[in-house]
A and B are shown apart, each in its own frame.
Chain A
Amino acid sequence: MKALTTKEKIQHFLISNAVPIIFILMSAVAIPLSGFSPTYLVQEMLIRLARNSFLVLSLIIPIVAGMGLNFGMVLGAMAGQIGLILVSDWAVVGMRGLLLAALIGTPISVALGYICGAVLNRAKGREMVTSYILGFFVNGIYQLTVLYAFGKLIPISNAELVLSRGYGIRNAINLAGMRHGLDYLIPLRVGNLNVPLGTYLTIALFCLFIVWFRRTKLGQDMRAIGQDMGVAGAAGIPVEKTRIIAIIISTVLACYGQIIFLQNIGTMNTYNSHDQAGMFAIAALLIGGATVSKATIPNVFVGVILFHLMFVVSPMAGKQLMGQAQIGEYFRVFVSYGIIAISLALHAWKRQKDRERARRSLRGEA
Protein backbone atom coordinates (compact mmCIF):
# COMPACT_ATOMS: atom_id res chain seq x y z
CA MET A 1 0.00 0.00 0.00
CA LYS A 2 1.39 3.39 -0.91
CA ALA A 3 2.15 5.83 1.88
CA LEU A 4 -0.62 8.25 2.75
CA THR A 5 -0.17 11.85 1.65
CA THR A 6 -0.30 14.54 4.29
CA LYS A 7 -3.79 15.49 3.19
CA GLU A 8 -4.97 11.90 3.52
CA LYS A 9 -3.30 11.61 6.90
CA ILE A 10 -5.10 14.71 8.12
CA GLN A 11 -8.39 13.41 6.73
CA HIS A 12 -7.89 10.08 8.43
CA PHE A 13 -7.04 11.78 11.72
CA LEU A 14 -10.11 13.99 11.53
CA ILE A 15 -12.47 11.11 10.79
CA SER A 16 -11.18 8.70 13.39
CA ASN A 17 -11.20 11.39 16.07
CA ALA A 18 -14.37 13.11 14.90
CA VAL A 19 -16.14 12.95 18.22
CA PRO A 20 -13.49 14.53 20.46
CA ILE A 21 -12.85 17.20 17.85
CA ILE A 22 -16.51 18.18 17.66
CA PHE A 23 -16.49 18.34 21.41
CA ILE A 24 -13.44 20.54 21.64
CA LEU A 25 -14.99 22.95 19.15
CA MET A 26 -18.24 23.05 21.14
CA SER A 27 -16.36 23.66 24.35
CA ALA A 28 -14.33 26.43 22.74
CA VAL A 29 -17.61 28.22 22.04
CA ALA A 30 -19.38 27.43 25.27
CA ILE A 31 -16.64 28.18 27.78
CA PRO A 32 -16.35 31.92 27.11
CA LEU A 33 -20.16 32.09 26.96
CA SER A 34 -20.53 30.57 30.38
CA GLY A 35 -18.38 33.13 32.10
CA PHE A 36 -16.52 30.72 34.34
CA SER A 37 -12.94 31.60 35.17
CA PRO A 38 -10.17 29.28 33.93
CA THR A 39 -8.93 28.62 37.47
CA TYR A 40 -12.38 27.53 38.52
CA LEU A 41 -12.65 25.21 35.54
CA VAL A 42 -9.23 23.69 36.11
CA GLN A 43 -10.10 23.09 39.74
CA GLU A 44 -13.42 21.47 38.83
CA MET A 45 -11.77 19.25 36.24
CA LEU A 46 -9.16 18.04 38.73
CA ILE A 47 -11.90 17.07 41.15
CA ARG A 48 -13.97 15.37 38.49
CA LEU A 49 -11.00 13.46 37.15
CA ALA A 50 -10.48 12.02 40.60
CA ARG A 51 -14.14 11.26 40.97
CA ASN A 52 -14.98 9.62 37.66
CA SER A 53 -11.85 8.16 36.08
CA PHE A 54 -12.03 4.85 37.88
CA LEU A 55 -15.56 4.17 36.66
CA VAL A 56 -14.65 5.01 33.08
CA LEU A 57 -11.50 2.88 33.24
CA SER A 58 -13.61 -0.11 34.25
CA LEU A 59 -15.25 -0.03 30.82
CA ILE A 60 -12.03 -0.80 28.95
CA ILE A 61 -11.79 -4.52 29.58
CA PRO A 62 -15.15 -5.59 28.12
CA ILE A 63 -14.46 -3.48 25.02
CA VAL A 64 -11.14 -5.26 24.59
CA ALA A 65 -12.97 -8.58 24.92
CA GLY A 66 -15.31 -7.62 22.12
CA MET A 67 -18.39 -7.28 24.28
CA GLY A 68 -19.03 -3.65 23.51
CA LEU A 69 -20.05 -1.02 26.04
CA ASN A 70 -20.77 -2.66 29.36
CA PHE A 71 -24.07 -1.06 30.30
CA GLY A 72 -24.13 -3.68 33.01
CA MET A 73 -21.62 -1.67 35.01
CA VAL A 74 -24.55 -0.27 36.95
CA LEU A 75 -24.76 -3.69 38.56
CA GLY A 76 -21.35 -3.14 40.12
CA ALA A 77 -22.37 0.37 41.15
CA MET A 78 -25.42 -1.03 42.92
CA ALA A 79 -23.30 -3.60 44.75
CA GLY A 80 -20.99 -0.84 45.93
CA GLN A 81 -23.95 1.17 47.17
CA ILE A 82 -25.30 -1.75 49.16
CA GLY A 83 -21.89 -2.04 50.78
CA LEU A 84 -21.93 1.66 51.61
CA ILE A 85 -25.43 1.47 53.10
CA LEU A 86 -24.42 -1.35 55.44
CA VAL A 87 -21.17 0.32 56.43
CA SER A 88 -23.03 3.57 57.09
CA ASP A 89 -25.40 1.72 59.34
CA TRP A 90 -22.55 0.13 61.25
CA ALA A 91 -20.87 3.53 61.65
CA VAL A 92 -17.49 2.39 60.40
CA VAL A 93 -15.66 5.49 59.26
CA GLY A 94 -12.81 6.73 57.15
CA MET A 95 -10.73 4.62 54.82
CA ARG A 96 -11.60 1.52 56.82
CA GLY A 97 -15.26 2.10 56.13
CA LEU A 98 -14.58 2.38 52.42
CA LEU A 99 -12.49 -0.77 52.39
CA LEU A 100 -15.19 -2.61 54.28
CA ALA A 101 -17.80 -1.40 51.80
CA ALA A 102 -15.58 -2.63 48.97
CA LEU A 103 -15.12 -5.92 50.77
CA ILE A 104 -18.86 -6.39 51.07
CA GLY A 105 -19.57 -5.17 47.56
CA THR A 106 -17.06 -7.50 45.94
CA PRO A 107 -18.87 -10.85 46.34
CA ILE A 108 -22.14 -9.18 45.36
CA SER A 109 -20.45 -7.74 42.25
CA VAL A 110 -18.94 -11.09 41.37
CA ALA A 111 -22.33 -12.77 41.58
CA LEU A 112 -24.04 -10.03 39.56
CA GLY A 113 -21.19 -9.98 37.07
CA TYR A 114 -21.48 -13.71 36.62
CA ILE A 115 -25.20 -13.43 35.93
CA CYS A 116 -24.58 -10.59 33.50
CA GLY A 117 -21.88 -12.51 31.69
CA ALA A 118 -24.01 -15.63 31.44
CA VAL A 119 -26.97 -13.66 30.09
CA LEU A 120 -24.75 -11.89 27.56
CA ASN A 121 -23.39 -15.19 26.38
CA ARG A 122 -26.93 -16.16 25.47
CA ALA A 123 -27.39 -12.97 23.47
CA LYS A 124 -24.26 -12.89 21.33
CA GLY A 125 -24.36 -10.12 18.78
CA ARG A 126 -26.85 -8.17 20.93
CA GLU A 127 -24.69 -7.64 23.99
CA MET A 128 -25.21 -3.93 24.35
CA VAL A 129 -29.00 -3.87 24.22
CA THR A 130 -29.13 -6.89 26.51
CA SER A 131 -26.78 -5.43 29.09
CA TYR A 132 -28.77 -2.20 28.88
CA ILE A 133 -32.05 -3.94 29.69
CA LEU A 134 -30.36 -6.13 32.26
CA GLY A 135 -29.27 -2.94 33.99
CA PHE A 136 -32.88 -1.84 34.26
CA PHE A 137 -34.00 -5.26 35.42
CA VAL A 138 -31.43 -5.55 38.19
CA ASN A 139 -32.19 -1.94 39.09
CA GLY A 140 -35.73 -3.09 39.75
CA ILE A 141 -34.50 -5.88 41.99
CA TYR A 142 -32.11 -3.49 43.73
CA GLN A 143 -35.03 -1.18 44.44
CA LEU A 144 -37.08 -4.07 45.78
CA THR A 145 -34.22 -4.89 48.12
CA VAL A 146 -33.39 -1.39 49.23
CA LEU A 147 -36.96 -0.16 49.44
CA TYR A 148 -38.45 -3.17 51.20
CA ALA A 149 -35.98 -5.75 52.45
CA PHE A 150 -33.69 -3.26 54.18
CA GLY A 151 -35.24 -2.51 57.50
CA LYS A 152 -37.59 -5.48 57.41
CA LEU A 153 -35.47 -8.53 56.55
CA ILE A 154 -32.07 -6.90 56.89
CA PRO A 155 -31.84 -5.06 60.20
CA ILE A 156 -30.87 -1.41 60.01
CA SER A 157 -30.23 0.17 63.37
CA ASN A 158 -29.40 3.72 62.31
CA ALA A 159 -32.70 5.57 62.16
CA GLU A 160 -31.22 8.30 59.99
CA LEU A 161 -30.96 5.88 57.09
CA VAL A 162 -34.51 4.63 57.22
CA LEU A 163 -37.66 6.14 55.78
CA SER A 164 -40.28 7.46 58.15
CA ARG A 165 -42.52 4.47 57.59
CA GLY A 166 -40.03 2.25 59.39
CA TYR A 167 -38.41 0.28 56.60
CA GLY A 168 -36.68 1.08 53.35
CA ILE A 169 -33.69 3.33 52.87
CA ARG A 170 -33.96 7.07 52.41
CA ASN A 171 -33.04 8.59 49.09
CA ALA A 172 -30.26 10.86 50.28
CA ILE A 173 -27.73 9.30 52.60
CA ASN A 174 -25.04 11.41 54.17
CA LEU A 175 -21.68 9.68 53.94
CA ALA A 176 -20.01 12.24 56.17
CA GLY A 177 -18.02 9.69 58.12
CA MET A 178 -16.39 8.29 55.02
CA ARG A 179 -16.25 11.45 52.94
CA HIS A 180 -12.91 11.99 51.25
CA GLY A 181 -11.68 8.88 53.03
CA LEU A 182 -9.60 7.88 50.06
CA ASP A 183 -9.09 11.38 48.65
CA TYR A 184 -7.24 12.76 51.65
CA LEU A 185 -5.73 9.52 52.87
CA ILE A 186 -2.40 11.04 52.01
CA PRO A 187 -2.77 14.72 52.77
CA LEU A 188 -1.45 17.24 50.30
CA ARG A 189 -2.22 20.93 50.02
CA VAL A 190 -1.35 23.09 47.04
CA GLY A 191 -2.05 26.74 47.69
CA ASN A 192 -5.33 26.55 49.55
CA LEU A 193 -6.60 23.47 47.73
CA ASN A 194 -6.77 20.02 49.16
CA VAL A 195 -5.51 17.59 46.56
CA PRO A 196 -7.17 14.14 46.44
CA LEU A 197 -3.81 12.41 46.30
CA GLY A 198 -5.08 9.07 47.55
CA THR A 199 -7.54 8.81 44.71
CA TYR A 200 -5.02 9.88 42.08
CA LEU A 201 -2.61 7.21 43.25
CA THR A 202 -5.36 4.61 43.14
CA ILE A 203 -6.23 5.62 39.58
CA ALA A 204 -2.58 5.43 38.58
CA LEU A 205 -2.36 1.96 40.09
CA PHE A 206 -5.42 0.94 38.17
CA CYS A 207 -3.90 2.16 34.92
CA LEU A 208 -0.79 0.11 35.62
CA PHE A 209 -3.03 -2.84 36.33
CA ILE A 210 -4.73 -2.47 32.95
CA VAL A 211 -1.41 -2.23 31.14
CA TRP A 212 -0.12 -5.31 32.95
CA PHE A 213 -3.38 -7.19 32.44
CA ARG A 214 -3.21 -6.74 28.67
CA ARG A 215 0.04 -8.67 28.68
CA THR A 216 -1.20 -11.63 30.71
CA LYS A 217 -2.53 -14.75 29.03
CA LEU A 218 -6.05 -13.89 30.14
CA GLY A 219 -5.74 -10.43 28.66
CA GLN A 220 -4.42 -11.77 25.39
CA ASP A 221 -7.24 -14.32 25.28
CA MET A 222 -9.75 -11.55 25.66
CA ARG A 223 -8.20 -9.56 22.86
CA ALA A 224 -8.32 -12.60 20.63
CA ILE A 225 -11.99 -13.11 21.42
CA GLY A 226 -12.57 -9.44 20.75
CA GLN A 227 -11.09 -9.69 17.30
CA ASP A 228 -12.77 -12.90 16.23
CA MET A 229 -14.74 -15.22 18.45
CA GLY A 230 -14.69 -18.10 16.02
CA VAL A 231 -10.94 -18.05 15.47
CA ALA A 232 -10.31 -17.70 19.19
CA GLY A 233 -12.54 -20.66 19.93
CA ALA A 234 -10.81 -22.75 17.30
CA ALA A 235 -7.46 -21.83 18.87
CA GLY A 236 -8.58 -23.47 22.11
CA ILE A 237 -9.59 -20.41 24.12
CA PRO A 238 -12.59 -21.10 26.39
CA VAL A 239 -14.65 -18.29 24.85
CA GLU A 240 -17.76 -18.46 27.04
CA LYS A 241 -15.82 -18.63 30.29
CA THR A 242 -13.43 -15.85 29.33
CA ARG A 243 -16.26 -13.52 28.36
CA ILE A 244 -17.89 -14.07 31.72
CA ILE A 245 -14.60 -13.35 33.47
CA ALA A 246 -14.26 -10.10 31.51
CA ILE A 247 -17.68 -8.97 32.67
CA ILE A 248 -17.04 -10.03 36.26
CA ILE A 249 -13.82 -8.02 36.36
CA SER A 250 -15.58 -5.01 34.89
CA THR A 251 -18.47 -5.26 37.36
CA VAL A 252 -16.18 -5.52 40.39
CA LEU A 253 -14.18 -2.55 39.18
CA ALA A 254 -17.37 -0.58 38.64
CA CYS A 255 -18.26 -1.38 42.27
CA TYR A 256 -14.99 0.13 43.48
CA GLY A 257 -15.34 3.01 41.05
CA GLN A 258 -18.76 3.87 42.42
CA ILE A 259 -17.44 3.78 45.99
CA ILE A 260 -14.63 6.13 44.98
CA PHE A 261 -17.14 8.39 43.24
CA LEU A 262 -19.44 8.53 46.25
CA GLN A 263 -16.69 9.12 48.82
CA ASN A 264 -15.71 12.19 46.84
CA ILE A 265 -19.21 13.59 46.64
CA GLY A 266 -20.11 12.68 50.20
CA THR A 267 -23.81 12.02 49.63
CA MET A 268 -25.45 9.01 48.07
CA ASN A 269 -28.70 9.14 46.18
CA THR A 270 -29.81 5.63 46.93
CA TYR A 271 -32.12 5.43 43.95
CA ASN A 272 -30.36 7.55 41.35
CA SER A 273 -26.59 7.62 41.83
CA HIS A 274 -25.93 4.39 40.01
CA ASP A 275 -28.08 5.18 36.95
CA GLN A 276 -26.12 8.23 36.08
CA ALA A 277 -22.83 6.52 36.84
CA GLY A 278 -23.25 4.16 33.91
CA MET A 279 -24.58 6.73 31.48
CA PHE A 280 -21.98 9.39 32.18
CA ALA A 281 -19.09 6.95 32.20
CA ILE A 282 -20.04 5.58 28.80
CA ALA A 283 -20.64 9.02 27.35
CA ALA A 284 -17.28 10.20 28.66
CA LEU A 285 -15.44 7.23 27.20
CA LEU A 286 -17.01 7.73 23.78
CA ILE A 287 -16.29 11.43 23.83
CA GLY A 288 -12.67 10.60 24.51
CA GLY A 289 -12.51 8.89 21.16
CA ALA A 290 -13.11 5.28 22.13
CA THR A 291 -15.37 3.14 20.01
CA VAL A 292 -17.38 0.05 20.67
CA SER A 293 -14.41 -2.10 19.71
CA LYS A 294 -11.43 -0.03 20.76
CA ALA A 295 -10.64 1.84 23.95
CA THR A 296 -7.34 3.07 25.35
CA ILE A 297 -6.36 4.76 28.61
CA PRO A 298 -5.89 8.21 27.02
CA ASN A 299 -9.48 7.94 25.76
CA VAL A 300 -10.57 7.76 29.37
CA PHE A 301 -8.85 10.90 30.63
CA VAL A 302 -9.52 13.01 27.54
CA GLY A 303 -13.12 11.89 27.66
CA VAL A 304 -13.65 12.66 31.34
CA ILE A 305 -12.21 16.15 30.95
CA LEU A 306 -14.19 16.99 27.81
CA PHE A 307 -17.45 15.52 29.06
CA HIS A 308 -17.33 17.21 32.41
CA LEU A 309 -16.19 20.47 30.88
CA MET A 310 -19.35 20.46 28.80
CA PHE A 311 -21.35 19.34 31.82
CA VAL A 312 -20.21 22.21 34.00
CA VAL A 313 -20.37 24.86 31.30
CA SER A 314 -23.71 24.09 29.59
CA PRO A 315 -26.26 25.47 32.03
CA MET A 316 -24.56 28.87 32.21
CA ALA A 317 -23.86 28.97 28.48
CA GLY A 318 -27.50 28.09 27.84
CA LYS A 319 -28.58 30.89 30.13
CA GLN A 320 -26.45 33.44 28.28
CA LEU A 321 -27.52 32.20 24.89
CA MET A 322 -31.21 31.64 25.40
CA GLY A 323 -32.02 33.36 28.65
CA GLN A 324 -32.95 30.18 30.50
CA ALA A 325 -30.54 28.00 32.44
CA GLN A 326 -33.02 25.17 32.10
CA ILE A 327 -32.25 25.01 28.39
CA GLY A 328 -28.58 24.58 29.19
CA GLU A 329 -29.40 21.65 31.43
CA TYR A 330 -31.53 19.95 28.82
CA PHE A 331 -28.78 20.72 26.35
CA ARG A 332 -26.27 18.72 28.31
CA VAL A 333 -28.67 15.78 28.57
CA PHE A 334 -29.17 16.05 24.83
CA VAL A 335 -25.46 16.12 24.21
CA SER A 336 -24.80 13.14 26.48
CA TYR A 337 -27.28 10.96 24.65
CA GLY A 338 -26.59 12.45 21.28
CA ILE A 339 -22.90 11.78 21.54
CA ILE A 340 -23.52 8.13 22.34
CA ALA A 341 -25.91 7.93 19.39
CA ILE A 342 -23.40 9.55 17.04
CA SER A 343 -20.51 7.40 18.25
CA LEU A 344 -22.49 4.21 17.95
CA ALA A 345 -23.74 5.24 14.53
CA LEU A 346 -20.28 6.16 13.25
CA HIS A 347 -18.89 2.92 14.54
CA ALA A 348 -21.67 0.80 13.08
CA TRP A 349 -21.43 2.64 9.78
CA LYS A 350 -17.72 2.03 9.60
CA ARG A 351 -18.25 -1.62 10.41
CA GLN A 352 -20.85 -1.93 7.71
CA LYS A 353 -18.54 -0.31 5.18
CA ASP A 354 -15.79 -2.76 6.12
CA ARG A 355 -18.15 -5.67 5.74
CA GLU A 356 -19.35 -4.47 2.37
CA ARG A 357 -15.81 -3.97 1.20
CA ALA A 358 -14.89 -7.48 2.29
CA ARG A 359 -17.91 -8.92 0.58
CA ARG A 360 -17.16 -7.05 -2.62
CA SER A 361 -13.59 -8.25 -2.65
CA LEU A 362 -14.86 -11.80 -2.21
CA ARG A 363 -17.11 -11.38 -5.20
CA GLY A 364 -14.06 -10.38 -7.19
CA GLU A 365 -14.97 -6.76 -7.90
CA ALA A 366 -12.44 -3.89 -7.82
Chain B
Amino acid sequence: MMNRRNGVRILLAAALVLLGVYLFVSGKQHQMFVDNMAVEIEGKAYAPEAAVRVAFDGGEPLELASGDRDVTQVVGPRHSVKVEVLNESGDVVKTLEGEFRWVSTKKSMFSVPAFLGGAPSPMIDSPVAE
Protein backbone atom coordinates (compact mmCIF):
# COMPACT_ATOMS: atom_id res chain seq x y z
CA MET B 1 0.00 0.00 0.00
CA MET B 2 2.37 2.67 -1.19
CA ASN B 3 0.30 5.81 -0.79
CA ARG B 4 1.59 9.16 0.38
CA ARG B 5 0.92 8.69 4.07
CA ASN B 6 2.79 5.41 4.23
CA GLY B 7 5.60 6.92 2.20
CA VAL B 8 5.99 9.72 4.72
CA ARG B 9 5.88 7.23 7.60
CA ILE B 10 8.56 5.05 6.04
CA LEU B 11 10.78 8.09 5.43
CA LEU B 12 10.27 9.17 9.02
CA ALA B 13 11.15 5.73 10.33
CA ALA B 14 14.26 5.63 8.12
CA ALA B 15 15.28 9.06 9.40
CA LEU B 16 14.93 7.87 12.98
CA VAL B 17 17.01 4.79 12.29
CA LEU B 18 19.70 6.99 10.74
CA LEU B 19 19.53 9.24 13.79
CA GLY B 20 20.00 6.18 15.96
CA VAL B 21 23.04 5.10 13.98
CA TYR B 22 24.51 8.59 14.20
CA LEU B 23 23.98 8.71 17.96
CA PHE B 24 25.52 5.28 18.35
CA VAL B 25 28.62 5.98 16.31
CA SER B 26 29.25 9.48 17.59
CA GLY B 27 28.44 8.68 21.20
CA LYS B 28 30.12 5.35 21.70
CA GLN B 29 32.91 5.36 24.20
CA HIS B 30 36.01 3.32 23.36
CA GLN B 31 38.78 2.02 25.52
CA MET B 32 42.03 3.04 23.89
CA PHE B 33 45.57 2.00 24.77
CA VAL B 34 48.31 4.60 24.44
CA ASP B 35 51.67 3.13 23.57
CA ASN B 36 55.17 4.53 23.59
CA MET B 37 57.05 1.47 22.28
CA ALA B 38 58.93 0.68 19.10
CA VAL B 39 56.61 -0.37 16.31
CA GLU B 40 56.82 -1.27 12.63
CA ILE B 41 54.07 -0.27 10.20
CA GLU B 42 54.26 -1.22 6.49
CA GLY B 43 57.98 -1.76 6.66
CA LYS B 44 58.85 1.54 8.36
CA ALA B 45 60.15 1.45 11.89
CA TYR B 46 59.22 4.07 14.44
CA ALA B 47 61.26 4.57 17.58
CA PRO B 48 59.86 5.74 20.90
CA GLU B 49 60.88 9.00 22.55
CA ALA B 50 62.32 9.07 26.07
CA ALA B 51 59.49 11.07 27.61
CA VAL B 52 56.23 12.32 26.16
CA ARG B 53 53.07 14.00 27.35
CA VAL B 54 49.90 13.13 25.44
CA ALA B 55 46.50 14.78 25.70
CA PHE B 56 43.41 13.67 23.76
CA ASP B 57 40.47 15.92 22.88
CA GLY B 58 41.73 18.62 25.22
CA GLY B 59 41.57 16.37 28.24
CA GLU B 60 43.98 15.52 31.05
CA PRO B 61 47.44 14.67 29.69
CA LEU B 62 49.13 11.29 30.15
CA GLU B 63 52.84 11.05 30.75
CA LEU B 64 54.71 8.18 29.18
CA ALA B 65 58.35 7.15 29.31
CA SER B 66 59.92 5.00 26.62
CA GLY B 67 58.38 1.54 26.72
CA ASP B 68 55.27 2.67 28.66
CA ARG B 69 51.70 1.82 27.88
CA ASP B 70 48.67 3.48 29.36
CA VAL B 71 44.92 3.35 28.78
CA THR B 72 42.26 6.00 28.34
CA GLN B 73 38.67 6.47 27.14
CA VAL B 74 37.59 8.38 24.06
CA VAL B 75 34.14 9.06 22.71
CA GLY B 76 33.14 9.07 19.07
CA PRO B 77 34.93 8.64 15.75
CA ARG B 78 37.16 11.73 15.40
CA HIS B 79 39.74 12.96 17.86
CA SER B 80 42.33 15.63 18.32
CA VAL B 81 45.63 14.86 20.00
CA LYS B 82 48.52 16.93 21.30
CA VAL B 83 51.88 15.26 21.91
CA GLU B 84 54.66 17.10 23.70
CA VAL B 85 58.15 15.56 23.67
CA LEU B 86 60.08 16.28 26.87
CA ASN B 87 63.82 16.29 27.64
CA GLU B 88 65.47 15.12 30.86
CA SER B 89 64.66 18.30 32.76
CA GLY B 90 60.96 18.14 31.81
CA ASP B 91 60.91 21.03 29.31
CA VAL B 92 58.92 20.73 26.17
CA VAL B 93 61.26 20.10 23.24
CA LYS B 94 58.79 19.38 20.46
CA THR B 95 55.03 19.65 20.10
CA LEU B 96 52.90 17.91 17.53
CA GLU B 97 49.15 18.34 17.22
CA GLY B 98 46.89 16.47 14.89
CA GLU B 99 43.69 14.58 14.34
CA PHE B 100 43.01 10.92 13.91
CA ARG B 101 40.08 8.62 13.49
CA TRP B 102 39.07 5.66 15.55
CA VAL B 103 39.48 2.59 13.37
CA SER B 104 38.11 -0.49 15.11
CA THR B 105 38.26 -2.42 18.34
CA LYS B 106 40.99 -4.57 16.85
CA LYS B 107 43.17 -1.60 16.08
CA SER B 108 42.47 0.22 19.32
CA MET B 109 45.99 1.17 20.35
CA PHE B 110 47.37 4.64 19.74
CA SER B 111 51.08 4.49 18.98
CA VAL B 112 52.87 7.70 19.96
CA PRO B 113 55.98 6.89 17.88
CA ALA B 114 53.87 6.20 14.82
CA PHE B 115 52.03 9.49 15.27
CA LEU B 116 55.26 11.45 15.76
CA GLY B 117 56.83 9.74 12.77
CA GLY B 118 53.98 10.72 10.48
CA ALA B 119 52.51 7.29 9.79
CA PRO B 120 49.23 7.28 7.80
CA SER B 121 47.28 6.18 10.88
CA PRO B 122 48.53 6.00 14.43
CA MET B 123 46.14 3.19 15.33
CA ILE B 124 47.72 -0.24 15.57
CA ASP B 125 46.66 -3.67 16.70
CA SER B 126 45.62 -3.73 20.28
CA PRO B 127 47.14 -6.38 22.54
CA VAL B 128 43.79 -7.48 23.97
CA ALA B 129 40.30 -7.66 22.57
CA GLU B 130 38.23 -4.72 23.85
A residues whose Cβ falls under 8 Å from a Cβ of B: 90-97, 99-100, 103-104, 177
Contact = CB atoms under 8 A, between A and B. Distances in A.
A93 B28 CA distance: 6
Contact of A90 (B16, B19, B24, B26): B24
Given A93-B75, A94-B75, A103 B19 contact: yes
A103 B16 contact: yes
Contact of A93 (B19, B20, B27): B27
B28 A99 contact: no
B19 A91 contact: no
A91 B23 contact: no
User: Of residues B23, B28, B29, B30, which shows the largest number of chain A Cβ atoms within 10 Å of its Cβ?
Assistant: B23
Listed from nearest, the 9 A-B pairs whose CB atoms lie closest are A96-B27, A92-B27, A100-B23, A91-B29, A96-B23, A93-B29, A92-B28, A103-B20, A99-B23
Contacts, number: 33
User: Of residues B19, B24, B30, which shows the largest number of chain A Cβ atoms within 10 Å of its Cβ?
Assistant: B24
Interface of B: 16, 19-20, 23-24, 26-30, 75
Nearest to B21: A100
B29 A177 contact: yes
B118 to A, nearest CB: 31
* Binding site secondary structure of chain A: helix
B17 to A, nearest CB: 9
B12 to A, nearest CB: 12
B28 A103 contact: no
B20 A100 contact: yes
A307 B65 CA distance: 57
6 contacts: A90-B24, A91-B30, A92-B23, A99-B23, A103-B16, A103-B20
Contact of A97 (B16, B19, B27, B30): B27
Contacts of A103: 16, 19-20, 23
Nearest to A102: B23
Contacts of B75: 93-94
Contacts of B26: 96
A95 B27 CA distance: 8
Nearest to B31: A91
Nearest to A100: B23
A177 B28 CA distance: 10
Nearest to B30: A91
Nearest to A94: B27
Given A91-B28, A96-B26, 11 more contacts: A92-B29, A93-B27, A93-B29, A96-B27, A97-B27, A100-B20, A103-B16, A103-B19, A103-B20, A103-B23, A177-B29
A360 B28 CA distance: 67
A104 B16 CA distance: 10
A91 B23 CA distance: 11
B84 to A, nearest CB: 27
B22 to A, nearest CB: 8
Contacts of B30: 91
Contacts of B24: 90, 92, 100
Contacts of A94: 27, 75
B16 A100 contact: no
Contacts of A100: 20, 23-24, 27
Contacts of A93: 27-29, 75
Contacts of A177: 29
Contacts of B27: 92-97, 100
A90 B27 CA distance: 10
Contacts of A104: 20
Nearest to A92: B27
A94 B20 CA distance: 14
A14 B109 CA distance: 69
A90 B29 CA distance: 8
Nearest to A181: B27
A285 to B, nearest CB: 31
B50 to A, nearest CB: 34
B28 A90 contact: yes
Contacts of A95: 27
User: Of residues A90, A96, A177, which shows the largest number of chain B Cβ atoms within 10 Å of its Cβ?
Assistant: A96
A91 B24 CA distance: 9
Contacts of B19: 103
A100 B17 CA distance: 10
